[in-house]
Amino acid sequence: MPPIKLALVGLGKIARDQHLPALAANPDYQLIALVSRSIHEQQALTVAFPEAKLFTDLDQLLASGLEIDAVSLCAPPQVRHAQAARALAAGCDVMLEKPPGSGINDVQALIHQAERHGRVLFATWHSRYAPQVEPARAWLESKRVTALKVSWREDVRHWHFNQEWVWQPGGLGVFDPGINALSIVTRLLPDGLYLTKARLDFPSNRQTPIAARLEGALAGRASGPVEIELDWLKTGEQSWDIEIGTDQGRIELTHGGSRMLIDGEQIAVAGEQEYPGLYARFSELVARRKSDVDLTPLALAADAFLLGERREVDAFEW
């Protein structure tokens, strides 16, 4: 199969740090277009990708006549539906950065549109490709889960400095990183979980939460409590930890899923492989002409907002 002619839309931190290196290392792709409103600041990227043409928006790219097979959308979720709809209508396969949209129904509309146009739609959850997620899932298959505890704490000033979209409606606030934890646990626990209670802390000058505490229960053959703590004001060492109790011991995933411990003993440590895994998966889906859109993590985040007791906290400033 010839390389997929791909356009990368949105050149923020996640695109520069993760998407571009993954694309550069994958021969299944030919990056032929870069799209950003601040494209004049991105001229240096053409050194690494000399075949890539620069555009200031997706409409300009689609009107250019440049032949593209697929687009990877890394712009904020509030604009992702409109961009994906235009790309699908233009005959492109589409890969969505997480979260796939700012709501559930807008992504469902994209699913139907992709089906109508015979295009591939891939809603990515990069944390599911952390190296210890699948080994942990295999270990859990023969166990009965009895408890789930998640602690996801990071510093918004480090990861999203001056990115105002995270505080605007649809930006998800602390659920932007927190949904990574939700994507992992919904992969590890095939019978799922549900929320019964939520408390969301909103800075007095912002429209999305900066911290959250979620409570719930395990579903299906599992039985036990669910506790999820999300914090976007963690200074110093960041922590992304999941602890699962079972009838045959306790498993922990730490460092976002790169380390695994069983009953406190470290079993495995591995380097980051999330975005190479995403692009390998997208290439496979394109070859098979098959979409992959799982909305379960987004539905859990939406449930938290529906259930959430709102608590106003101190104003947040960068």
Rounded CA gap, 99 and 115, in Å? 20
Rounded CA gap, 128 and 257, in Å? 8
98 catalytic? Reply is yes
192: alpha, beta or left, given left = phi > 0 and alpha = psi -120 to 50? left
Question: CB neighbours of 310 closer than 8 A, spacing ≥ 6?
Answer: 200, 202
| Residue 220 per-residue DSSP state | T
**Helix axis angle, 104-117 relative to 296-307, nearest 10°?**
150
Whether 279 contacts 28, CB under 8 Å: yes
Q: Rounded to whole angstroms, what are the CA distances from 262 to 43, 134, 243, 283?
A: 47, 14, 10, 34
Q: How far is CA 240 from the centre of its chain?
A: 14
Tokens 């259930």 sit on residue: 307
- Amino acid of residue 273: Q
- Active-site entry in 5, 13, 53, 98: 98
Rounded CA gap, 251 and 245, in Å? 7
Of 193, 184, 189, nearest in space to 143 by CA: 189
Rounded CA gap, 220 and 172, in Å? 28
Report the greatest alpha carbon distance in the chain: 59
For residue 50, whether the previous peptide bond is cis, meaning omega lies within 30 degrees of 0, is no
Of 70, 122, 123, nearest in space to 98 by CA: 123
Annotated catalytic residues are 98
